[in-house]
Amino acid sequence: MHYQDERTSGCRISDAWTYRGHKAVVLENELIRVIVLADKGADVYSFVHKPSDTDFMWRTPWGVRDPSKFVPTTGTAGSLWLDQYEGGWQTVVPHGGYTDTVYGADMGLHGELNTMPWDCTVIEDTPKRVAVRFRAKGVRMPFSAEKTLSIEAGNAVLTVDESVTNESEEACECVWLEHIALGGAFLSDKCRLYLPPSRVINHPVDVAPTSKLKPGYEGQWPKSKLKSGLDIDFSRVPPKSDRSLDMAYFTDMDEAWYAMTNEELGVGFAVSFPSKVFKYLWYWRNFAGGWGYPWYGRCYNVGLEPCTSFHNGGLRQAMENGTALKFKAGETVRATLQAVAYTGVRPVKRVTPQGQIVFS
């Protein structure tokens, strides 16, 4: 891209950037700016709504590490991932969840494609639309992934067209998770979460000593249950002083989407996704209740993460409970997600598959 048209208006894209040792790609128009770390899983590191100067993506306190300059003193299957976890949005394939050994392969936390570099190619570059394609292949399991990110002029929507392929000559299963973490100045107890009608499932056991949700509880959105026996309204975000750490899940959505509005700032973030592929939405509730490594009580964020499978125990448990995504030899599964920045405080009734916000 040495001779790329360097526009200052309309849609713009550039892959001529490096951030802390990682090749980075920047896509933007007059409404949003998206930064993707191509060399770190093609992670969406930043998603900014420009008129309000709001970055929806959460950043970990330790941030992005330059792999050429940072050498961990020790390593476990979980800490190696967490040491490099910068927040933001990861595409997690083929093992979403805790560490395990599957098909004879040792799989670390959320392994393995989001810890490796992805090839990237700018495939469209006009004032009306820009697009970039990313590709990666697994090492320990025979899955490859491809995703094309695009934005259009005058539209605060990031379109993500993705595919996952089993490149082996035998049937295999995987977990496909879009690990989206929201936080920073956007997240507060003034936020309200909107979902379509769905079933709520609390994680089957406590995930931390500070967990407050009743393990295994099932009900209907937006209600859940605390261990104390009291009801909780999942449409409301607790403040940092809540000091809890929990996991819950939403499923049985006819049309899958979520929207979160900060009613004080008047700005929101929404995602629509295909329910036939992503049958679950994981809800990581990290309200400053994580003590010890790596949180140390300083992390206030939520994860709202479309996933093929239940729950975050990893691929083996998803295979055992029948929710892993099954691939024939050579099979490809495709999905399109829309991530949207919007303004206003009216209740959100729907997010269409095209990323249109429908207010009540």
**pLDDT value for 1:** 66
**pLDDT value for 3:** 80
User: What is the token pair recorded at 206?
Assistant: 């406590």
**pLDDT value for 25:** 98
Kindly state whether residue 167 falls inside one of the protein's structural domains: yes
Residues of the chain with pLDDT under 70: 1
| Cα–Cα distance measured from residue 113 to residue 175, given in angstroms and rounded to the nearest whole number | 12
Residue 328: alpha-carbon gap to chain centroid: 26
Map residue 320 onto helix, strand or coil.
helix
| Contact residues for 141 (Cβ-Cβ < 8 A; gap 6+) | 94, 95, 102, 103, 105, 107, 112, 172, 174
Kindly state whether residue 46 falls inside one of the protein's structural domains: yes
Kindly state whether residue 3 falls inside one of the protein's structural domains: no
Kindly state whether residue 6 falls inside one of the protein's structural domains: no
**pLDDT value for 2:** 76
Kindly state whether residue 7 falls inside one of the protein's structural domains: no
Comparing CA positions, the residue from 264, 261, 269 lying closest to residue 48 is: 269
**pLDDT value for 6:** 87
Structural domain that includes position 309: 12-359
Kindly state whether residue 138 falls inside one of the protein's structural domains: yes
Map residue 81 onto helix, strand or coil.
helix
- When divided into structural domains, the chain yields a total of 1
**pLDDT value for 67:** 86
**pLDDT value for 71:** 87
Backbone angles phi, psi at 186, to 5 degrees: -70, -40
CATH number of domain containing 232: 2.70.98.10
Q: What is the pTM of this model?
A: 0.97
